[in-house]
Amino acid sequence: MPEIKELELISNQVRRDIVRMVHAVNSGHPGGSLGCTDFLVALYFEIMKKEPVPFKMDGKGEDLFFLSNGHISPVFYSVLARSGYFDVKELSTFRKLNSRLQGHPTTHEGLPGVRMSSGSLGQGLSVAIGAALAKKLNGDNRIVYSLHGDGELQEGQIWEAAMYAAGKKVDNLISTIDMNGQQIDGSTDNVLPLGNLRAKWEAFGWDVMDMDGANMNNIVATLKKAKEHTGKGKPVMILMKTNMGQGVDFMMGSHKWHGVAPNDEQLAQALAQLPETAGDY
Amino acid sequence: MNYTILDKKDTRSGFGAGLFELGRTNPEVVALCADLTGSLKMDAFQKEFPDRFFQIGIAEANMIGIAAGLTIGGKIPFTGTFANFSTGRVYDQIRQSVAYSGKNVKICASHAGLTLGEDGATHQILEDIGLMKMLPGMTVINPCDYNQTKAATLAIAKHTGPVYLRFGRPVVPNFTPPDQPFIIGKALHLQEGTDVSIFATGHLVWQALEAAKVLKDKGISAEIINIHTIKPLDEAAVLNSLAKTRCAVSAEEHQMNGGLGDSIAQLLARKHPAPIEMVAVKDSFGESGTPEQLMTKYGLDAAHIVLAAEKVMQRKHALIA
């Protein structure tokens, strides 16, 4: 399928953006950003109905996305810019003073594409449920998407929201967990084991599916299947297997690149693995 | 004007009546409750508008997040639970998902303060005004009786931005006129006076009016100002009154730290230094008891306002002498 190849080329450019943005300010979170790149590219360039310009906060008639694990802002900003919400040049302001691209995403500076501040973990699923309920009240049949880290599932509010969405049949919601198995202090198994997540989400009453977050073909196919599963009385949960640092060999699979920026040499090494495909910002 | 008791009602019923009226007049208003529908007097709204009522269960953090999400589709959500669970329990959710995100959520909190009564200190939050007023962009309102609470409920639906509306459980005098306009951020002069300014909020407003009668018998002319909106504070009303009286008493059902008195003292220190006495809880938790017993024990009644007024006037005179 040609479309998959195109999406992969966009992913490549987004990954370049991520390492360049993080390197430029010597701060930010490259690992999780690189791991979720293919998912966000598929969502914004293939799956969601969206109207980037003019950006409308209420998003009526559009599919909506909420990033709950806000620290992967680099990938979110790059995908928003490259899908038309704002000029890619603005990516160079990431984490700098007076920027709309704050360390964690916020509505406070009026950046198009962002509908909720996130960073303090565990809050995005509740917000996505609220947005989904508003769509139902408005007779708007579009879908609400959300993304969460696996470490984020240690927050209690996630499970309050999990119980609510299933119990109250919020079935216009597709949530995804970034299952990279890593968090700041080490692997999730060492920090606080998450147990059998499929069994947990199924027990809460969700329609659960698996996805390979490193395979664009599988991502697009799974998201399309997930859409078909909406409107059937259950919220949909996608357990997305990812690699932290995907696409940059020395960053892959280690929690050490959760919140560390590459130095000049490492940047060059990373960019050599990620050829420019859509023009650097 | 002369305020007299019209009847006796709980302020939470004023909220319930206001919410029900909003249900009929504003289709964007929705209500969320965390398993306290009866206590918050939200049952009429729930019955009449079931599609716009969300029973969240005992999950206040989730309730705040869902409310924030509902605003994105243009809804005006009113959340309802006890003041304790409306603020301290969900502070970070309010901070990030509501205040920092600039969402149009109305956080409506009943059973605030000591007058919750017998349930005791676990439920008697005395820190909620302080918590909420520290959040940038948050409007903080504490009405004094049934009529004012109903009017405030209607007013905040027309205001765009996050609001904390605080009210209480007990049946108390209802004395403000039912048609009195409620303007957010505009203090109400209940009684003119020249010797001392008494700034009161919530249940303490009626106590301040009672105190003024006692003070009058002692030859003291007290100006009574109802600060229903603690943030934004009506600075002009405070300063204009102080220009006349040159001393102040604040009265509230809250900790002294972080409350109304604290806001007024800050204003006076910056713009019009003058003695102030604060009728408030002095850095302690509450306890079980009847509302009347508790308000007496913790010094939140007319008698203590009288004492505070006399003391602050002595301090003023000492300064002049």
- Structural domains in chain B? 7-174 (3.40.50.970), 188-320 (3.40.50.920)
Q: Which residue of chain A is at minimal alpha-carbon distance from B70?
A: A130
Mean pLDDT within B50-60: 98
Q: Which two tokens stand for residue B92?
A: 């970070």
Question: Which sign, positive or negative, has the C-alpha torsion B6, B8, B11, B12?
Answer: negative
- Asked whether residue B79 carries a pLDDT value surpassing 90, the answer given is yes
Looking from the CA of B290 toward its CB, the CA atoms found within 13 Å total 4
Q: What percentage of residues in chain A have a pLDDT greater than 90?
A: 98
Q: Which two tokens stand for residue B91?
A: 């502070």
DSSP character at residue B37: T
- Asked whether residue A21 carries a pLDDT value surpassing 60, the answer given is yes
Window 46-85 of A: residues touching B by CB (8 A cutoff) are 57-60, 64, 66
pLDDT of residue A253: 83
pLDDT per residue as tens digits for the range A261-271? 999 999 999 99
- Asked whether residue B241 carries a pLDDT value surpassing 90, the answer given is yes
Report d(CA B94, CA A171) in Å as an integer.
26
Q: Which two tokens stand for residue B159?
A: 């205001």
Window 235-264 of A: residues touching B by CB (8 A cutoff) are none
Task: Check CB contact under 8 Å for B56 and A107.
Answer: no
pLDDT of residue B1: 66
Q: What percentage of residues in chain B have a pLDDT greater than 70?
A: 100
Q: Which two tokens stand for residue A17?
A: 């953006």
Chain A partners of B95 at a C-beta cutoff of 8 Å? Answer: 120
Mean pLDDT of chain B: 97
- Asked whether residue A81 carries a pLDDT value surpassing 80, the answer given is yes
Question: How is domain A2-272 classified at the CATH fold level?
Answer: Rossmann fold (3.40.50)
Q: Which two tokens stand for residue A55?
A: 């950006």
pLDDT of residue B320: 83
Mean pLDDT within B133-145: 98
Reduce the DSSP state of residue B128 to 3 states and report it: helix
pLDDT of residue B81: 98
Q: Strands, E, within chain A: which ranges? A: 64-67, 144-149, 173-179, 182-183, 186-187, 207-212, 236-241
- Asked whether residue B2 carries a pLDDT value surpassing 90, the answer given is no
Report d(CA A104, CA B86) in Å as an integer.
25
pLDDT of residue A254: 83
Q: Which residue of chain B is at minimal alpha-carbon distance from A70?
A: B96
- Asked whether residue A2 carries a pLDDT value surpassing 60, the answer given is no
Looking from the CA of A275 toward its CB, the CA atoms found within 13 Å total 3
Tell me: cis bond preceding B162? Omega within 30 of 0 counts.
Answer: no
pLDDT of residue B321: 78
Q: Are B117 and B290 in contact (CB under 8 A)?
A: yes
pLDDT of residue B70: 98
Taking CA atoms, B169 is separated from A15, B146, B182, in Å, by 56, 11, 21
Task: Check CB contact under 8 Å for A164 and B71.
Answer: no
Chain A partners of B93 at a C-beta cutoff of 8 Å? Answer: 123, 126, 157
Mean pLDDT of chain A: 97
Task: Check CB contact under 8 Å for A130 and B56.
Answer: no
Q: Which two tokens stand for residue A217?
A: 């073909």
Chain B partners of A65 at a C-beta cutoff of 8 Å? Answer: none
